[in-house]
């Protein structure tokens, strides 16, 4: 066992906060055009054959109960790896999203490499879908994208820049470097205290709505929305800011519309949104695992003016960017580095229950390559990312941009949000509202 085999603290946190009712896996539903009636079955065969040659997909996670990492875990090759246990061909489906919701409910098997690929042929033919599931301890969004791309058709992309070779790191520090390590540790502690204080303040100032909270039912419902990226750019060019600012404002406006339509009311509602920020460089090779921080912001759901909501989002995001992803309450994921392995093991259940006190809704973006993706020659037309749903929360929003379109992947507690399709419709309507407000 070497230090590079060990799960990083944040990976270990994701591994330990999981429960049967709240599995910690990411998902992505890709919808492909089928060039033949047997395209789905052929795709399943291809996925299984290619998975056998991807080292990252052969890695399982094993708990470690020995010093100096007592209570930690390691990634290691599974000696009994069989891709047919991970790639499954299902009967033809009438509704890809309904099937995806059912499959997202099921936790991944922890004794095997924690990923699955489910191939769903369409009942009417002409299409098939693949639902990829990756445990968050195995991969963050960018790493999951890399693993999924490895089993799709080869792409003609520039090779990633190699990292300089690093000497093997000992499990225990060199005593000659203790002064340097002490200074770094004091700096890290100061940053951790700053983050912790921000979390405490934001928790006390929390204001939410019952519609965004749920008991641990373990049920899942998914939905997908496709928007034209040109429409988003039309709004951005008029009001300024970034595409991400516009998309977050769309989520805020859709929440307002959805709450009003279901009779919950949006007056005084300003839920806390966690906006994850990846610290991984997409074009640079990097060890597996999570490289995440985040921003925390209050969504201006209570503002009736769509342009006012967008302006509030821009201001909040600019403030977060000025502070950087290493400070503030949204960077709470970085606190995982200051918790020993056994602390993650014992405190996982408490942390999972505390998520509802820290933020109300997750809004995350997953980057995709600009080139068209294929599987067995069948082109990928739509891709809906899915985020894990934290305990006590009823809705998570993930966004990807692909081939001129924005895809929203929505995951909800099925009992708490039986009207997820209504929220999905509100996202499309909010874009039209912004376009009208901009006079475009």
* 189-206 pLDDT tens trace: 444 434 344 444 455 454
Separation CA 15–CA 344 (nearest Å):
9
Q: Is the pLDDT confidence value at 51 over 70?
A: yes
Would you place residue 139 in the very low, low, confident or very high pLDDT band (cuts 50, 70, 90)? confident
Convert the pLDDT of each residue in 417-434 to its tens digit: 999 999 999 999 999 999
Separation CA 102–CA 90 (nearest Å):
13
Q: Is the pLDDT confidence value at 186 over 70?
A: no
pTM (global) more than 0.95: no
- Nearest-Å Rg of the Cα atoms of the chain is 22
DSSP 184-237: HHHHHHHHHHHHHHHHHHHHHT----GGGB-------EEEEEEEEHHHHHHHHH
pLDDT of residue 371: 82
Convert the pLDDT of each residue in 360-416 to its tens digit: 898 998 888 878 899 999 999 999 999 998 888 899 999 999 999 999 999 999 999
Report for 3-17, 87-101, 285-299: range of highest mean pLDDT: 87-101
Q: Compute the average pLDDT of residues 129-150.
A: 87
Q: Is the pLDDT confidence value at 172 over 60?
A: no
Q: Is the pLDDT confidence value at 293 over 70?
A: no
pLDDT of residue 66: 73
Half-sphere exposure of 280 (CA within 13 A, CB side): 24
Q: Is the pLDDT confidence value at 329 over 70?
A: no
Separation CA 93–CA 396 (nearest Å):
24
Q: Is the pLDDT confidence value at 185 over 50?
A: no
Convert the pLDDT of each residue in 374-388 to its tens digit: 999 999 999 999 999
Q: Is the pLDDT confidence value at 282 over 80?
A: no
Separation CA 313–CA 253 (nearest Å):
11
Would you place residue 305 in the very low, low, confident or very high pLDDT band (cuts 50, 70, 90)? very high
Using a 10 angstrom Cβ sphere, with 0-12 exposed, 13-18 middle and 19 or more buried, the burial of residue 234 is middle
Separation CA 77–CA 322 (nearest Å):
41
Residue with tokens 């539903």: 29
Between 138 and 31, name the one with better pLDDT: 31
pLDDT of residue 145: 82
Between 2 and 39, name the one with better pLDDT: 39
Q: What is the percent of the chain with per-residue pLDDT over 90, rounded to a whole number?
A: 50
What's the whole-number average pLDDT of the chain?
80
pLDDT of residue 358: 64
Contacts of 156 (CB under 8 A, 6+ apart): 371
Instruction: Give the total residue count for the chain.
Output: 440
Report yes or no: 330 and 295 within 8 Å, Cβ to Cβ: yes
Between 104 and 269, name the one with better pLDDT: 104
Q: Which of 51-60, 142-151, 241-250, 394-403 has the lowest mean pLDDT?
A: 142-151
Q: Is the pLDDT confidence value at 188 over 50?
A: no
Report for 103-107, 282-286, 291-295: range of highest mean pLDDT: 103-107
Q: Compute the average pLDDT of residues 291-315.
A: 88
């Amino acid at each position: 066992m070497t230090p590079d085999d060990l799960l990083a603290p944040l990976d270990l946190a994701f591994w330990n906060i999981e429960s049967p009712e709240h599995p910690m896996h990411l998902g992505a539903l890709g919808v492909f055009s089928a060039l033949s009636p047997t395209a789905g079955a052929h795709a399943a065969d291809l996925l299984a054959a290619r998975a056998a040659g991807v080292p990252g997909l052969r890695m399982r996670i094993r708990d470690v109960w020995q010093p100096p990492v007592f209570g930690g875990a390691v990634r290691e090759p599974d000696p009994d790896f069989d891709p047919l246990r991970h790639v499954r061909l299902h009967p033809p489906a009438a509704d890809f999203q309904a099937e995806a919701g059912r499959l997202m409910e099921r936790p991944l098997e922890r004794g095997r490499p924690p990923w699955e690929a489910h191939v769903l042929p369409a009942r009417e033919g002409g299409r098939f879908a693949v639902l990829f599931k990756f445990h968050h301890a195995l991969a963050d969004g960018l790493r999951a994208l890399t693993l999924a791309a490895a089993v799709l058709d080869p792409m003609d992309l520039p090779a990633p820049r190699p990292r300089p070779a690093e000497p093997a790191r000992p499990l225990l520090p060199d005593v000659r470097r203790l002064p340097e390590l002490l200074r770094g540790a004091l700096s890290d502690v100061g940053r951790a205290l700053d983050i912790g204080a921000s979390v405490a303040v934001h928790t006390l100032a929390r204001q939410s709505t019952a519609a965004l909270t749920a008991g641990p039912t373990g049920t899942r419902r998914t939905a997908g929305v496709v928007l034209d990226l040109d429409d988003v750019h039309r709004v951005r060019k008029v009001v300024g800011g970034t595409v991400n600012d516009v998309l977050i404002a769309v989520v805020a406006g859709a929440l307002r519309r959805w709450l009003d339509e279901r009779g919950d009311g949006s007056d005084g509602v300003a839920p806390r949104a966690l906006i994850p920020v990846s610290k991984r460089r997409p074009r640079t090779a990097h060890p597996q695992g999570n490289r995440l921080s985040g921003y925390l912001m209050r969504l201006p759901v209570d503002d009736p003016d769509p342009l006012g909501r967008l302006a509030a989002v821009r201001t909040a995001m600019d403030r977060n960017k000025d502070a950087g992803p290493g400070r503030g309450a949204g960077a709470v994921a970085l606190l995982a580095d200051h918790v020993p392995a056994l602390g993650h093991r014992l405190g996982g259940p408490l942390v999972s229950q505390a998520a509802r006190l820290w933020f109300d809704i997750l809004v995350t973006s997953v980057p995709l390559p600009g080139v068209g993706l294929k599987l067995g020659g069948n082109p990928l037309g739509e891709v809906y990312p899915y985020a894990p749903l934290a305990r006590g929360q009823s809705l998570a929003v993930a966004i990807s941009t692909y081939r001129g379109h924005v895809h929203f992947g929505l995951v909800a507690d099925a009992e708490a949000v039986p009207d997820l399709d209504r929220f999905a419709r509100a996202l499309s309507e909010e874009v039209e509202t912004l376009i009208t407000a901009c006079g475009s």
